[in-house]
Structure formats: C-alpha cells, structure tokens
Amino acid sequence: MRPSILFLMPRLVALTLAAASIAPDPASAQSVVSASVRGTITDDLGQPIPRTVVTLEAIGGGSTLEAITGAGGTFAFPLAAPGTYQIRAEAFGYQPLVARTLELAGGDAVRVPLSLRTATPPVVSVDTVAIEATASSRNRPGGLRLGGTDVNELPTRFGDLSAIVGRSSAFGPDLGSQGLPGSMSLLITDGLPVARAEHPTRRSEHLADAFFPRAFLSSVTAFHNATDAEWAGAAGGYATAATLSGVGSGAEVEGAWSGGPLWSSGQLDLDDTPGLTSYQAAGRASFDIKPDTTQLLIASEMLQHEAPLAPRVGPELAEALGGLGAEVVTSLAAPSVERISRYSGLGRFSTQPNENSRVFIRGALSYSERTFDGPGSLPAPAAGLGETSTEFSLASSFVSELSEGVTLELRGGVSASDRTFASATPWIPSAYLAEAGIPLGDVPGAPAETSRTDFSLLPVIRWDLGTSGALKGGVSVRAARHDMSSATWGTGDFLFTDADALLAGRGVARVADEAQATFTTREVGMFAQYDVTPAPGLDVSLGARFDYEQIPDGEPSLDTDWLAVSGLSNTDYPSAFPQVDARAAFAWDPAGDGRTRLFGVGSLHSGDVDARHLFEAFARDGAVEATRYAGSGLSWLNATVPGSAGSAPTLALLGPDVQPPRSLRATAGVVRELAAGLSVHLSGDFRRTDFLMRRRDLNLPTAPSARDQSSRDVYDTLVKDGALITVEGDDGRRFPAFGAVWALDPDGWSEYRGVTAGLEYRSDVLDLYGAFTRSETRDNWIGAARGSAEAELDPLLPAFVEDWSEGRSDFDVPDRVTASALVRIPSLPGSSVAATYRFASGRPFTPRYRYGVDANGDGSFENDVPFVPQPDELGALHSEWRCLRNQSGGFAVRNSCRGPSSHDLSVRLRVGLGELGGRPASMFVEGLNLIEPEEGLIDEALMLVDPEADLTYAQGDTRVTVPLMVNPDFGNVIVPTSRGRMLRVGLRIGG
C-alpha cells in the first residue's frame, strides 16, 4: 500500500463564539477582505483623552497598526486584515491598557470603547481587560452569522470544506442552504468568487469536495441570507473564506497519522477489511521582509485519506456471476478502498506601506485524485465518483484610504479548474440487475472531462459620511470559460433481469455519442449600498444591484429537420439576462447596552445560469446520436450493442423565457446576552426561489395507446423480460426520427420555512455551542437530487391524480442539530478536550419501481411510481413504514418516505508538550465518525415485477396488466457506503 499524506488544521478547535465579545458596527460600509476597528478613549469621568497612542497588534504575526486619538478621543483602523488582534492604548499620565482578544473577519466593522485610569508616571503595570461584552458579533446588519468558525473544526472527512461551516445547523453537509443544493451556494475566497469545474450532468454534491486546503485558510463563514449588495451570483447561500496572511516570522509543521486496523466499520467483517493507511502533513513558513509591514507566507501540504467501503454484491450473487471472470467478480464482491490524495502549495505576499493602504497577492495550486482501489474497486454509485483534478487560483487586492472617510478597494483574480472523471480499475461498464436492485460497474454518465477558467475584477469605493452613515458602490466584471465533454449514459448503460440474463447477454442497452461543448459566460454588474443609523441603537442598510449576464458564444447549431417536423427552433433562447436585486436590513439595540439585538432582512437576489444546462443545449443540438436496444446479443464487458440497433439524434432546447434562478428571502430574529459570555439567538427564515430549470419530453406522443391496471396511461407497447419492463419499437416517440427531445423550462420553484435557535458560551475554561434548525422545504423540482435527466420528468399519471409534482422537496431535511464543547485543562498549558456532534433527519425518497421498469412506456426508467396496494397486501410494510399507511389505494406520493437519520460524533484530546525548537508543540488524539451512519444505496422499490408471470392484454390491447408483487426489502440499505470510524494521532509544532 503506498503511503498517504494529510494535513491537520492549523490550530485547535476554535468555536464560533470567539468574537462574541465585540459588537458589529452596521453603520460602516463593509468589505469582504478588510475589517474596520473604531473606538473612543475616555478617562475615569468619561471625558475623551486626546493624543492617546492606540496599537492594533496581530497575534501570531502580521501587520501592527498604530493610530493617535484626536481632540474627541476617537481612533480608527479602517483597513485591518482579517485575523486575531490585541489592542493597546497608552497616554501620558494614564495607566496603559491591553484589551484581548479581538477576532476580525472580512466585512466586520467593530466599535471598541476603552477607558484609561489615571496613574502617576512612571507607570510600571499594564492592565489586561476583556472588551465589554455584547450579545454576539454574529449579528451582522440584517442577519445572523451562523456557523462562522476557525478552520480548526473537527472534520468528518479530511479536506472537506463543507465540514468547516457544518457547525451551522442551517446548512447541509454539501454547503446546501435552506433547501437548495450546495451547487447553488457561492464561495468567495479573499473577496473574489472561486468556482470549480462541474461534472456536465452529475450534481456537485455527488462529487469529492476538496477545495482550498485547510492549512491555507484562516477562516470560513457561511451566510444563508446575504445582506450585502456587493455579493452576487448565488440563488442559495454564500460561504466566505480567507487565506492565511501571516503566522509570524518562523515556521510551523504539523501532521497526523492513522494506520490499519485503526479503521473499523459495522458494515464490514474485520477479517475482510482492506489494509488502510492515512497520513497528513503541512508546513508553513512566514518571513518578515519588513517588520510589521511586509510579510511573505509560503505553505504546502500533502495528504492521503483512505476509507473502506463495503462490497457491492454479496457471496450468493458473486457465485452466480462467476462466469464473468475472477478479476471482475473480485472487484464486485470484495471491499474497496476510497483514496483521496492531494498535493498543494500556496504563496501570499502582503504589505502595508503606510497606515492608509494595504496590498496582497496570493497564488495557490493543487493537484488531487480520488480513486477506488482493491481488493474490490467498484463502490456503489452513492459513494461518489473517481476523479483527477488540477486547480489554480490567483488573487490580489489593493486597499487605500484616499482621504479621511473615503476608501478605494480594487480586487482582481483568475482561477482555473480542470477535472477528469475516470472509471475504476479494472474498468467495467455500467449495468443494473433489476431483480437484486444492484448496480454493477461504473456510475452511469460518470466518464467526463471538464474545465473552467474564471476572471473577476471588483473595484469598490466606500464613503464614511460620519453621523449621516456610510455609502458603498462598485462595479463587478466576471467571465467564465467552460469546456465540457461527456456521454449521455457513459460508455453504455446495460440492464438485465438477473445474473443468468447478464451472462446470456439478454437485456436492454443504451449508448450515446460523446457530447462536447465550449462556451463563455460574461457578467457585468453595478451596486450601491447605504448604511445609516437613523436613531440611537437602530442600524439600517439599503442596497440595490443590477447585473447583465451574457452567453454570447457556443450557441447550438440549428437542426432544420427538427424545425421542419415540429415548427420549433432549437436556437431560440435569450443570450442576455438583466437582473435587478434589492436588499433592506435593520438591526436594533432597544436598550442601547448591546445585550439584546433585534434584526431583520428582506432581499431579492439572482444566481447565474447553470453551466450544465448550457452545455446540454449547446452539445445536444442533433449531433449526438443515442442508441437503444432490447433483446439478445449484448456484449456488456465490451460495452457494445449489435450494429443493427437503431439510433436517433437527441436535442435539448432552452426556451425563450429562460432566465437565472431568483430568490426572495426574509429573515427576522433576536440575539440576547443572558450573562457574561453566554448568549442565545433565535431566528426565522423564509425563502422562495423561482425559475428553477425543469424538463419536458417534447417527443412524447400526444395521446396514450393503452392503460394499465391502475389506469396509468401507457404510451407504447410494453414488453417483459423477467423483471424488466421496456417498450417495443420506437420508445413511443411522436417523431420517430428523433430520440429524447428535452425542453428546459424555468417553471420550477422552491419554498423554505425554518426556525433556528442556538446557545453559545465562552469562558477561560469552557466553550459551548449548540444550534437547532427546524424547517420545511417544498418544491416542484422533480428528481433534482438524483443527478439524472430522466429523473427530472414528471410521472405521467391519470388526470384524476392531484398535481404530483408539487410537494416535499428532494432536499427537505426538517431537523438539524449541532453541538460543540471544548474544555481547556489549566494544569496542562496548551491542553484541551473537544467534541462535536451533528444530527440530521433522513433524506426523503419516493416509493417507486426498480430501475429497468418503464411502467408507462415513455422510454424512461426513472419517472414511474407504483400504485400503493391495500394494507393486507402490504403486509409487514404497512406497520413498519408510517409513510405508506395513508397512501393505500392511490399512486405513491413524491418523497413521502425517509431514509435513516444521520449522526456524527468526533472528539479530540490535545496535550501540550511545551516547546520544541523554541516553538510550542502539542500532540493530539482524535476519534472521527464515532457514530457510524447508516449510509448507503436505499432500495426505493415498493413494487417488484414478478419475473415468472407474463404481461396480459385485454380490450383490444388497450388494457395491459403488469404482474407485480410487494418488495419485502423496501427501504433497506442495499449497498452500505459508510466510511467507518477512525482513530488518528498527530503532532503540531508552532502556532
């Protein structure tokens, strides 16, 4: 087994409470890469002290800023970089004072009132005081900043960026926000949007999510309700991250190791668990080129994370598949190893030539692989996709205070991402056994290559208008170049009723030519925001934004044959999308003491056009041929179908009303400080997103040819082969010369309602954090979470059935809980014990047929739901599954059932070792994923096709009866995908 290398987070778990002692200042226009600190120095009688020297010193390295108070005793640091600071105040005749600790994130604007005591010089003592407690610095203007935390959060998997913000119970593990998938959240790093190339067809939450290495990040914060007009491009949430700006002159090294058999899994026999070894290592070196003003940071990491996955097939099925050959059977029947490897580096140069300007340039490069290796090498589709990726990011920022109260900020950058989604070794094409419900081979549609290059430029100017408030305005320019290639069903999608049929080459096959498209999207926007304090304790923020998004090149070719038979053009769609957004927010401190703060926000903001939909329209313009074949003679391992099989071109049409998704949001809440260091928060949220893309099949016949025993419309002649139900002839196509013709229409919507309550506490010995979110998400976004074009089609049910499409969302997770605790050990400096627990309700799913059953004869295996039988026919399922009890005698309701809930517990013991080489050292022992979740591929089939019985036709072949039987394994996990538990040991020197 080759060695693996991983990095550990730069510091110990730091709770989101770290900034709870500082109140925000909404009256100052904010920046996502800078923070501002302002305050007043007074004496014992409350009188201002002029000519006080105030120093803002970065803890652990970085710039030290200095200011001198004027006649009013005020001071300001308008261009502070995000980080941890202490404030020092000194004036002749007064006792010096040091106030700890001030945590600043990008966009924070804080006021710090300080009071000096009279003292007779020379002064020999310095007081260290806590800055006056307030409710919470998470209370930014108009919203609650949930889940903001240092990058030292205990991970559920190495390298997961989502785990860093997972402390927020309002966010999903894939950065999903308020019932929208993570692909609709925008990541802003160092003040600029950063995007990865996406798989052309699969949703991003099915993919590995490594991004910037944790060793390079100083903070990550997620916002589910952005209130700043500067941010654009997401209909979901926003996550902001900052890379390290300096750790002091010197170096840090850190690493962790875990080796088999430290992994364990309840889904695997210990004797069958493959050998596993994981390593991580990171190093950082910071150089003071010019003390206190200019630093150079160089960092690198190497990591490898290995985790076991259960075998795809059991011993009985493996024996039945013996004719495939030993190598193939071993790959299917033995445990596999998921291996994530990454090698990356970062350099950052930052300088502050004077107190009025700051400059930084940052570059990062990473190479990562995700593979699945033996003895078994084929994980279930739910485990993810193998990939190789190279990513590069360059960003720079110049900030200057042009005059008192006027600041110019200029940010720009380029990022590039290149990803290849490759098959496992040995390569086996995609196949499915309908009787067992087991997928064999690689994930359908997985092989793909995709790249993306982004350019961003963002000039912003801010005016501090004093008592009249603050004004911010700017322009944003963005361009993205996309290059995607993929096959509709990979290199082949093969369906068989059972192992015997597979070995005999009897089943159904679908293949397609490679689809490829290159195109560019561009966007120019402008924004303005006014922040004002109209009354003491009341802060108001008003913002507006206008964006103009274009897709000027990469258009599809006109298919004249389709135009002739249908009268519809496949090139008729808008090439530009004007977007108008608005935001309004308030924060109110009714008592004026910072102990209670009320807030509210309303916003309308737009996302970007989904590049995957553009790829589909540009690539599937009649040039991609799809082949479908049912019968004998399939060559599965060679991924071929008989040459006599007919093929037809496929089309995807963007309609003339296409536009980007748009969200209307409203939030209201309260933050209350109960005692020193202890505060609670409560908020309610509403979100309505429109213009989500849904699809229709324009090539479906206008009228059915038959009905089944449940009065379901059937559009073509059904044929049966064991447990498979497919169609005969032309797939029930309205225009036989064409295959699937998808119409992509923005008529989808999603609504979210949720309440979040939380508690946080911080002291010298104990930190606590807890949050609970209760929510409901409803939509008409069919099959959005399945990552398949066919799953997005509404089921064709009889007219007497209610609108089946509107109901519980695929992304509805009603309950989420997060709890964290950290206990410091005073008798052992640098030592602590920490734990993080997370809970989430199970994901919803729809009772359906097995893949390979086209019950309505429309050519799709993923859009049919069964008629739920009576309780006596359901048998034990009626009592076991509450979701089935009120559905008897009707078609299954969308997402009416739920899979198993998710629990996660991780703990850490850190022991201080004193100093090694003049730098602090500590050892840590971690237990990760201690409550192993019941994850895996769920058997969603409520009704199975009886393989022994035949189809029967009556009434002149207009009434067809499909022989069905209840599936006793409904809802069970067919193939587990849990990664097991892990024990990890590590060492850190420095920091």
Q: Can you give the pTM of this predicted structure?
A: 0.88
The reported pLDDT for the residue numbered 150 is 40
Helix, strand, coil shares of the chain as percentages rounded to 5?
10, 50, 40
In angstroms, rounded to a whole number, what is the distance separating the alpha carbons of residues 22 and 103? 8
Confidence of residue 845 (pLDDT cuts 50, 70, 90): very high
In angstroms, rounded to a whole number, what is the distance separating the alpha carbons of residues 491 and 636? 11
Query: Which tokens go with 677?
Result: 């260091």
Q: What are phi and psi of 897, to 5 degrees?
A: -115, 165
Query: Which tokens go with 253?
Result: 């090294």
Confidence of residue 604 (pLDDT cuts 50, 70, 90): very high
**Count of Cβ atoms closer than 10 Å to residue 927 Cβ:** 17
CA angle at 118 for the pair 116 and 120, rounded to the nearest 5°: 135
Is there a contact between 496 and 635 (Cβ–Cβ < 8 Å)?
Answer: no
Query: For residue 6, is pLDDT > 50?
Result: no
Lowest-confidence region among 236-240, 484-488, 576-580, 891-895: 484-488
**Count of Cβ atoms closer than 10 Å to residue 16 Cβ:** 28
Closest CA to 540 of 582, 584, 501, 583: 584
Average pLDDT over residues 945-950: 94
Query: For residue 761, is pLDDT > 50?
Result: yes
C-alpha pair distances (Å), 418 with each of 73, 484, 487, 612, 809: 54, 10, 18, 15, 32
User: Higher confidence at residue 951 or residue 445?
Assistant: 951
Query: For residue 12, is pLDDT > 50?
Result: no
The reported pLDDT for the residue numbered 9 is 27
Mention every residue, 6+ apart, whose C-beta is less than 8 A from residue 173: 156, 160, 162, 163, 166, 840
pLDDT digits over 660-710, tens only?
Answer: 999 999 999 998 889 888 889 899 999 999 999 999 889 988 888 899 999
Mention every residue, 6+ apart, whose C-beta is less than 8 A from residue 354: none
The reported pLDDT for the residue numbered 63 is 63
The reported pLDDT for the residue numbered 254 is 74
Query: Which tokens go with 22?
Result: 């500082």
Highest-scoring range by mean pLDDT, 38-42, 69-73, 89-93, 812-816: 812-816
Mention every residue, 6+ apart, whose C-beta is less than 8 A from residue 597: 135, 136, 139, 587, 588, 589, 670, 671, 672
The reported pLDDT for the residue numbered 457 is 96
> Where are the strands (E) in 792-851, listed by range?
807-808, 815-824, 832-840, 844-845
Please name the helix (run of DSSP H) or strand (run of DSSP E) that holds residue 599, with its range, or none.
strand 596-606
Q: pLDDT averaged over the chain? A: 82
User: Higher confidence at residue 2 or residue 99?
Assistant: 99
**Count of Cβ atoms closer than 10 Å to residue 92 Cβ:** 10
C-alpha pair distances (Å), 546 with each of 115, 142, 480: 45, 21, 19
C-alpha pair distances (Å), 289 with each of 65, 400, 524, 617: 17, 21, 38, 52
Q: What are phi and psi of 253, to 5 degrees?
A: -135, 145
